Amino acid sequence: MEQSLSDEQLMERFLSGRASAFQVLSDRHGARIYNFILRQVRDQELARDLVQETFLRVVKNASSFKAQSKFTTWLYTIARNQCIDALRRAKHRRHASLDKPLSKDDDGGATLLDMVADDRPGQATQARDRRFVAALEGALAALPDEQREVFLMREMEGLKFREIADIVGIPENTVKSRMRYALEALRGHLAEFADSY
């Protein structure tokens, strides 16, 4: 059964003409790639488009995939390049407001803040959580792009430093250094919450 095959084995099958192998790869990695791209571009519609473009590039460039390489490293490299290109094309970076309605025609409806997991704490806790989320979003936005990118790949995607180095095309020690600087900056921005959590 194809679901039990490794990504690299699936790529070999896809290259030999089995389209179903590509579908397994797409199903296996689609959501994570979407989340990765969404965190970079902060626009759901653009993220969906970039996911499609990423997998289209996988199809177009399948013959350039080297079986001794890790598929996810190759996939994230393609996705990262799509993000870089999209952000370069954008005239202005758009940061979604936490208070902005999720739907364009819904002025008083659900907001991004409403999407934060909540086990029904008291109002003081809810207010503190909202302040923390807003502060975290601001702190992440304030990071230099290369630090934010490494932080998100490591903390949100769970990639290893070596994988990030391969994706970004820099030495592993540089990745670790960027991560250290990102963590120091985030600690500084979020110091007021240190005793709350």
**pLDDT one-digit tens code per residue, 64-83:** 998 778 999 999 999 999 99
**C-alpha dist (Å) from residue 150 to 2, 59, 110, 122:** 32, 26, 31, 35
Residue where a domain terminates, one of 29, 56, 89? 89
Residues 52, 83, single domain; the answer is: yes
User: How much is the pLDDT for 93?
Assistant: 47
pLDDT of residue 60 exceeding 50? yes
d(CA 86, CA 174): 25
| pLDDT value at 96 more than 50 | yes
CATH classification of the domain holding 71: 1.10.1740.10
CATH code (residue 169): 1.10.10.10
Q: Are 51 and 34 in contact (CB under 8 A)?
A: yes
How far is residue 108 CA from its own chain's centroid? Answer: 28
Q: Which domain holds residue 61?
A: 2-89
Q: How many domains does the chain have?
A: 2
Q: Which of 58, 55, 37, 54 is nearest to 46 (CA)?
A: 37
Position 133 scores a pLDDT of 80
pLDDT at 104 over 90: no
pLDDT at 138: 85
Residues 117, 43: one domain? no
| pLDDT-based confidence at residue 123 (cuts at 50, 70, 90) | low
User: Which of 45, 33, 24, 43 has the alpha carbon at shortest distance from 74?
Assistant: 33
Residue 98 in domain? no
Banded pLDDT at 100 (limits 50, 70, 90): low
Say how many C-beta atoms besides its own lie within 10 A of residue 49's C-beta.
15
Q: Please give the pLDDT value at position 114.
A: 57
